[in-house]
Structure 1
Amino acid sequence: MNLSTDLSTTNSCTTLEPSNRYLASAVVYGLVLAVGLPLNTLSLWILLRTHGFRSPCAVLMVNLAVSDLLLALSLPLRVYFYATLQWPFGAATCTAALMMFRVNIRTSCIFITLISVDRMIALVFPLRSRSLRTPACALKCCAVVWILITILCIPEIIRLHGALKGCPNIPCFEVQASPESSRVIPLSQAMFLLVLLLVNIVSTVVVIIVLRKRPSAEAAKVNNKMNVILIFVINMLVFIIFFLPFTLQLLTYNNDDSGEVIRALVCLASVNCCLDPLIYYFSLDSFWQDKGKRQTDAGTYSLSRSMDRS
């Protein structure tokens, strides 16, 4: 996520030789592009058309889809680079492509966590959380996330562009951290991701406990408990499969590493944009239905109805 925060001109202007790893990267990113771009575009269109910003859950999902589209839109350049090992687009385009990818990793983790927390609160405290769980509040939270991530990325953008603009042959997505590179930023990002993972785990455990016990007077009634539990478990598994290996590698990375392992894990993390539409959108019984039909459909579980009425 931040291996290239500080770069030296020497190690950011090297010439690459063809290898099977570069070819494999081109294939994987090409597959992610072919699946992720249409799925996220379709999901975003359906969310805006049938759900809009009428519930906090829908607001969070729209922002997650936008985040995934940022990643998908940066992938054609990655595919071209790894297929040709050439970068004729300049330092500014390289910096933009790198940052679009990193912003997705950072914002996706946050939005996935917010979705889990929102659903947990809706299940455990459906009445008391009514004033907190509103579309306006969700929009404000998402705006804060985008603003903070953008501000935190500004120094990184400046350093990346400054290090790459003098290179005659930019190995854009293969830039290495310089020996003087600070460990503070990648370590802080790794710790933040671990905190988000812990929040997802706690949310999942709380939901399972609440659903296993007899619901209290305030707890929301859920018709299909297994579907609700499955959604929380899948949220947690996405973190464990796609983000945890990358996070642990950030914690153990040192400047003597070749960087091949972490690039492979970055490649794995990019796959999350293909699964987000399936996990967070299509897992909802009411995803394809408009608001009026959702409220009258007896097959829609009560947790979704409580979100829509917020």
Structure 2
Amino acid sequence: MQNVTLESKTEMCYNETKGQKNIIFVAVYALVFVAGLILNLMAIVVFFCQTKSRSHTTVYMTNLAVADLFLVCTLPFRIYYHYHKILSQKICEIAGLILLANMYGSIFLLTCVCLDRCVAVCFPLSSRVREGRKKAPLVCVGIWILTIGASLPVYLTGGKKGQQKHCFESFPYYAIQTTALTTSLVIGFGIPLIIMVVCSWGLVRAINKSTAVQTDNLVNSSKIQKMVSTNLAIFLICFLPYHVMLGVLHAYGNKIEDLSCSVISAYHYSLMIACLNASLDPLTYYFTTETFRKKVDMEVVWKLWPLNSHSSDGNNRSRAPLNT
């Protein structure tokens, strides 16, 4: 009986918005697509050109940029759907799979960036730490396998026979099951959050107490503090709403009939917010790597936007050097 009620509820909420053109979704996805495409392509070019000075942290960030690029390439499909409400269900499932894999891939990779910086600063002389950091490529391979493998059931085998599927507005049947939800909240979100908080605390403590770190030209305390706050902000802004909404949907349990369309809509908005990480992750690259700041001329990036293309006052301002 619960499945019938849930089906009718999903169908009713879908019909309420079927004829609408959701300007918010279209506008946000379009903005993320433009910004994410430009910034992540730029990041990939910068990282791959620095083969000689590539650090272990850069390996994680390169993989993060590639994952974000995959995500932004699916956003035109979401823009088209939210404007026309028509799109192949198979395309929707593939785009949803990429979003979910990117979400947890970003969570794990952001955690690795924070952890790598923490151990590098807190244990600079440890040979065991140096050897462990060299395994960054293997860690990235493991993250790709884990996130793709764990995401497949949600969009390919999670649905039950006879369920209505409405592309990006489908109800997350599989994701709110107890086993899947527990795994997502504990392994996919909770543990990485704890690691990031502990590592952030360790970094701040290290740079505040260590004179060597504060005076070392290779480790800038202000840069590390900005990296810490940026990582945590991106993590919480992008991924907390989605996992909160999964918990809310699961909390209804046998009271699906009380589930309002506004709650289901809030879940879909939380997925939209999760897509923001594709355009916010480059902030991590900017604050974390000296090479990225030196190679990327932010004045040129700013002028790429249409609103600023004619704002130049003709003055020749100094630019960042093009060599490291």
TM-score clears 0.5? yes
CA displacement at 1:18 relative to structure 2 = 2.6
What does 1:90-169 correspond to in 2, within 5 Å? 91-128=89-126, 129-134=129-134, 137-159=135-157
253-262 or 265-274: bigger deviation: 253-262
Contact 1:103 1:149 in 2 (8 A): yes
Q: Which runs of 5 or more residues in structure 2 are unaligned?
A: 1-5, 296-323
Whether 1:277 aligns to 2:278 is no
When normalised by structure 2's length, the TM-score is 0.75
Change (3 A) 1:52 1:139: farther
Partner Cα separation in structure 2 for residue 138 and residue 98 of structure 1: 27
Deviating beyond 3 angstroms after TM superposition, the runs of 4 or more aligned structure 1 residues are 7-16, 51-54, 160-164, 177-181, 219-223
Structure 1 residues 81-106: Cα deviation after superposition (integer angstroms, max 9, x where no partner) = 0011111x3x3222111101111111
Measure how far apart 1:221 and its partner are. Answer: 5.7
Match of 1:66 in 2: 66
The size of the alignment, in residue pairs, is 276
Q: Specify the alignment match of 2:19 in structure 1.
A: 18
Q: Tell me what 2:267 maps to.
A: 262
Q: Which AA in structure 2 matches 1:23?
A: I
Distance 1:289 1:200 in 2: 26
| Paired position in structure 1 for 2:244 | 248
- Partner in structure 2 of residue 225 of structure 1: 221
For 2:316, the equivalent position in structure 1 comes to: none
| Pairing of 1:197-212 with structure 2 (within 5 A) | 197-212=193-208
Partner of 1:295: none
CA deviations over 1:126-151 (Å, ceiling 9, x no partner): 121222212xx100000111112222
Match in the other structure for 1:175: 170
1:53-97 residue CA offsets vs partner (Å, 9 max, x unmatched): 94211110111001111210110100000011111x3x3222111
Which of 187, 199, 202 is equivalent to 2:182? Answer: 187
Q: Distance in 2 between matches of 1:113 and 1:8?
A: 38
* 1:34 match: 34
Q: CA deviation at 1:252?
A: 2.2
- Answer whether contact 1:60 1:138 (CA < 8 A) is retained: yes
Q: How far apart, in 2, do the equivalents of 1:52 and 1:109 lie? A: 27
Cα distance in 2 for residues equivalent to 1:86 and 1:43: 34
> SS in structure 2 opposite 1:176?
coil
Percent of aligned pairs sharing the same letter = 25
Q: 1:153 to 1:82 in 2, by over 3 A?
A: same
More relative contact order in 1 or in 2 (CA 8 Å, sep 6+)? 1
Amino acid paired to 1:121 = V
Q: Please give the alpha-carbon distance, in whole angstroms, between the structure 2 residues aligned to 1:289 and 1:215.
A: 26
Q: Equivalents in 2 of 1:53, 1:139: separation in Å?
A: 16
Alignment partner of 1:243: what SS?
helix
TM normalised by structure 1 equals 0.78
Normalized per residue, the structure richer in helix is 2
Partner residue, 1:302: none
1:163 shift after superposition? 5.5
C-alpha distance in structure 1 between counterparts of 2:149 and 2:175, whole Å: 23
Structure 1 unmatched ranges of 5 or more: 1-6, 291-304, 306-310
Whole-Å separation in 1 of the counterparts to 2:232 and 2:288: 15
2:303 corresponds to which residue? none
Aligned residue for 2:30, secondary structure, equals helix
